[in-house]
Chains A and B, each alone.
Chain A
Amino acid sequence: MATCSSSSFISPSSFNNDPTQLPKTLQKGLLLPIRRSNIPLLHIHSNSHLRKQFQSKCSNGYPLNAVHFQDEAEAEAEAKETTISITVVGASGDLAKKKIFPALFALFYEDCLPKHFTVFGYARSKLTDEELRNMISRTLTCRIDKRENCSDKMVQFLQRCFYHSGQYGSEENFLELDRKLKEKEAGRLPNRLFYLSIPPNIFVDAVRCASCCASSATGWTRVIVEKPFGRDSESSGELTRCLKQYLTEDQIFRIDHYLGKELVENLSVLRFSNLVFEPLWSRQYIRNVQLIFSEDFGVEGRGGYFDSYGIIRDIMQNHLLQILALFAMETPVSLDAEDIRNEKVKVLRSMRTLQLDDVVVGQYKGHTKGSKTYPSYTDDPTIPNHSLTATFAAAALFIDNARWDGVPFLMKAGKALHNRRAEIRVQFRHVPGNLYKGKFGMDMDEATNELVIRVQPDEAIYLTINNKIPGLGMRLDRSNLNLLYKARYPREIPDAYERLLLDAMAGERRLFIRSDELDAAWALFTPLLKELEEKKIAPELYPYGSRGPVGEHYLAAKYNIRWGDLTSDDS
């Protein structure tokens, strides 16, 4: 679309053209930390409006098809300008350095940030602005596909970065922050985004201080929180209750960075914009679905957090379950966040709580390969010697609704395995009355179609089909209809954090987790997690770098399934 310049960034007056416009007074009220449950509906409209602005700006330079925003861009010309202040709380932490600041810079580099914005780092350490900039600059990188002016852009970006040192529970320190923010906002309409990159036990303190002392008086205030969101239904419920003392639901942006991954975003597009998939998307044709996550490294000296959570909480209950819900949901009324999240919650609520029988847990042990020895989980200095924490888990889940009754959804997640990958595999049923049965030998399992969505690494979508081997005679073989992103799309795929930060600024909540979704997710896993802990179920040990405990195969076999990631069909 035409209006890619930063001047098209939204301003209050542009709402005047919108039939669903929000009176300014109402808008103000909405953004204060007051509960007003009847408002969000209106708010959504304004959000989607704002979202459009971002889309047009961040369309990667491709022409947009037939959507116009021109009128708005013109209307705002004389309007009062807005500004966004992004405060990274916990600025000296790892996540901030590795992900948040680089994502912000990438957005700036791509012209996706509004004209006026300020980035503040907030943490307890004493740092000057200069020291913060210095720290940040080391991790900023430029997109591979356009390196021009990168250092110029970096300098410009760093000039917008500031630091404020303070305690996370100190209202006073946040008041100081507020004053500094106001200074930078310079009388423009301020919107404020807080990114809490801090341990969960101080979430609520920071939220309290930010909301009472540093929220925007006239614009919106939003808070991004990262997992863990509690460790079971009760603690998660408690966290949500506390957050809601200071924030309304629509100010809370619970990030699940897997939802920001390119191929997870593409899941709905695949399903709903292609005629060829939706008719197949049910128990009638799908035999099972597999959600697979593996890392090829262990906790590597940073197990403190992990040990108290374990792989089930760390990966399954959030990332894999979210993908499952997106995969299995009914067609939403629209692509609006609330419609999509409504459908996801329905899936979660239709699911059976996990049974211990349907779960396999594992923990990696030391392994020597060649001259190199890999430590076991409990060898790690940050892990107690007798830890029973699972570093691997496999589970079979079921959705008891009309579409999915009886279809096993298998999940598998593990650390210190033989490869690093995340993928979704949809295994289809056998062809009924297959004319070619005689060609497949005994193993009909080898002859079913499979749709694979490889989320990482090396994004790809492929569909395994049966094909005649070229040549005389009639021999069949599996081949892939393949879409390798690297080959098709030469551009670097943006990091999930970029997308999610942009969405949070745009008020697009589709990829963030709503409180009721979170509740429903915990309700599925909490009984199992408690049972594992109460019964002190010992995990099956598997060697570092292996394919994981054998138990996963027995679990799959129980449902007459084979894990798809063990065949050598990858292209």
Chain B
Amino acid sequence: MALSFPNYSSSSPSNLPSPSSFKHHQRTTPSSILSSQNSFRHRFLKWVSIQSAKNQNLNAVCMQEATIAALPSNETLKKLKDRSLPFAPPEECGNVVGFSTGKEECTVSITVVGASGDLAKKKIFPALFALYYEDCLPKHFTIFGYARSKMTDAELRNMVSKTLTCRIDKRENCSEKMNQFLKRCFYHSGQYDSEEHFVELDQKLKEHEAGRITNRLFYLSIPPNIFIDVVKCAGLSASSSNGWTRVIIEKPFGRDSESSAALTRGLKQYLEEDQIFRIDHYLGKELVENISVLRFSNLLFEPLWSRQYIRNMQFIFSEDFGTEGRGGYGIIRDIMQNHLLQILALFAMETPVSLDAEDIRNEKVKVLRSMRPLQLENVVIGQYRSHTKNGVTYAGYVDDKMVPKDSLTPTFAAAALFIDNARWDGVPFLMKAGKALHTRRAEIRVQFRHVPGSLYKKSFGKDLDQATNELVIRVQPDEAIYLKINNKVPGLGMRLDRSDLYLHYAARYSKEIPDAYERLLLDAIQGERRLFIRSDELDAAWKLFTPLLKELEEKKITPELYPFGSRGPVRAHYLAEKYNVQWGDLSTEHVHG
């Protein structure tokens, strides 16, 4: 699928795609309208990124490079990269911002399929609005809600407007902006498997696209059993004829290797790999995005990043509420197999050739494929039971009306995973995820080894485990990065103590951190695939977990019960102990101002 790219001067305002460049394109790849838009994507996205950056003081760097997405040809890619990587002076960004007068403009139509659902209301529409508010959306865009319920445009707007909020750091003109945004929102009612209804949608979209080059993004916010139906209809009846068409899907992506593969096969009947955007919203979290920056842009960390210095890594996720009527899938599939495993792969991967999506995802797949499938003896599962505290009774998992009384579904799981490659041989990667625990948090802990031949051994007392360095990346809440170091307690004598070298995001960065969905939607619009999950990644991930999940179900393994609001099953400690590790989230840490 070699593509050639039209030459264009790198950054003059006139480099917005023009029809002729598209024609040229289509000639070279007659087979697929869908994959032909790379060059457009670049320019469009350059334009978008510049827009979104315009209000910030740029360090002379624009975001172009992030836009070099999955491109089929490495050579052209390289050329392009060479052109766009060196920074563009800020003035240039300024010039481009003002540009929007080309005759042939492009437009993006974003269709939220399942518009009346919870996710759509709580996350997707607000994220789209935030992008609009930040000037990150292109000039021409249309948002369509699609669902079965009968609604008018006004009713949709009414519904959407209730959940829109403005960023804390710039509230000016918020209601004005909101009105402008809502005017771009429309609704179309239809069945999810009706080609006819999608043809109607197509007609409406065309109306709004008004002859511009059209790019279409479908966000499937619907149950997985109708993914394929919708993709089929959208693919056949509502995809863009001269721009790109992309589909964002949300987990679950199957429930084991087989069902996931079947889903992928189904999707691929109608879509190319690079049209499928599997969202894992954890990859859009600020501190997860920062992992690669920390590792690869600081000299300090990379030399330490191996079995020689790292004793274990921990990936911890906890929620302080139960399933509340939305259980059934199990915590392993819901959190571990996707979110935590994705973060693990980012942490453990080798240095990629570049920051391009394909290079990063290639490295992630390598990590996943080097991993041992999970063993039952390396897993602890739990399920929360009811608990009464101060007169308030919290319901147990099986008390939920939606849950069968004899459900064995885990609401908590801890697991030890291993990567059998040269870098990580023997290093336990511990994961822990649970609902109805005592806190809500997501963090990554890197525990370093003991200092060999430590001169200060005596000063630490018996428990050398308390004396190792630890790097903690707190993803939520209250984003922070800290490195636990040993330090002399100020004063006479020589007593050691752990202190933190601390970076507290709220103190350092006054801006509100954007929601993961904003970043991911913007990336999908820009064709940046770095944070989306490729089919082979997904396969590899399921391969690790499927045997375990089957064994749990076949053997009807009973989860250890733990009280609602507790720290989870005690056996998690025995699992850690088996590998001579201590969970880092249980030590008492001083609170940072």
**Interface set of A (CB-CB < 8 Å, partner B):** 54-55, 58-60, 62, 64-67, 107, 110, 112, 262, 265-266, 268-270, 272-276, 278-280, 285, 331-332, 334-335, 428-431, 433-442, 447-449, 459, 461-463, 465-477, 479-483, 485, 487-489, 491, 493-494, 498-499, 502
Contacts and interface: CB of A to CB of B under 8 A. Distances in A.
B336 interface: no
B499 A483 contact: yes
Contacts of B302: 431
A261 to B, nearest CB: 10
A273 B455 contact: yes
Contacts of B479: 470
A463 B481 CA distance: 12
A459 B499 CA distance: 14
Interface in B561-593: 590, 593
Residue of B87, B136, B471 contacting most chain A CB atoms (<10 Å): B87
Contact of B65 (A64, A112, A438, A471): A438
Q: Which 3 A-B pairs have the closest CB atoms?
A: A65-B461, A481-B501, A66-B461
B281 to A, nearest CB: 15
A60 B492 contact: yes
Contact of B297 (A110, A265, A434, A489): A434
B293 interface: yes
A329 to B, nearest CB: 12
A53 to B, nearest CB: 11
Contacts of B514: 470-472
6 contacts: A59-B493, A275-B304, A331-B455, A475-B63, A482-B503, A494-B491
A441 B513 CA distance: 24
Interface of B: 49, 52-53, 56, 58-61, 63, 65-66, 85-87, 131, 134, 136, 286, 289-290, 292-294, 296-300, 302-304, 309, 351-352, 354-355, 448-451, 453-456, 458-462, 467-469, 471, 479, 481-483, 485-496, 499-503, 505, 508-509, 511, 513-514, 518-519, 522, 590, 593
A280 B53 contact: no
Given A60-B492, A262-B488, A475 B59 contact: yes
Given A272-B454, A461-B485, A472-B519, 7 more contacts: A269-B494, A431-B302, A435-B296, A438-B86, A470-B505, A471-B511, A482-B501
Interface centre among B60, B486, B490 (most CB of A within 10 A): B490
B58 A475 contact: yes
The residue among A270, A272, A469 with the most chain B CB atoms within 10 A of its own CB is: A469
A439 B52 contact: no
Nearest to B479: A470
A62 B489 contact: yes
Contacts of B352: 435
Contacts of A428: 299-300
B490 A441 contact: no
Given A269-B456, A276-B485, A55 B502 contact: no
Nearest to B291: A468
Given A431-B298, A470-B505, A273 B456 contact: yes
Contact of A472 (B52, B303, B501): B52
A441 B60 contact: yes
B297 A439 contact: yes
Contacts of B513: 470-471
B60 A463 contact: no
B507 to A, nearest CB: 9
B298 A273 contact: no
B492 to A, nearest CB: 4
Contacts of B461: 65-66
A492 B61 CA distance: 44
Given A274-B451, A438-B86, A441-B59, A481 B502 contact: yes
A475 B494 contact: no
Nearest to A436: B297
Given A431-B296, A431-B299, A59 B495 contact: yes
Given A279-B309, A436-B296, A499 B492 contact: yes
A329 B501 CA distance: 24
A473 B509 contact: no
A276 B492 contact: no
- In this complex, the member of B297, B451, B469, B509 whose beta carbon has the largest number of chain A beta carbons within 10 angstroms is B297
A442 B500 CA distance: 32
Nearest to A278: B451
A276 B61 CA distance: 31
A473 B52 contact: yes
Contact of A272 (B304, B355, B451, B522): B451
Contacts of B298: 431, 449, 465-466
A479 B492 contact: no
A463 B300 contact: yes
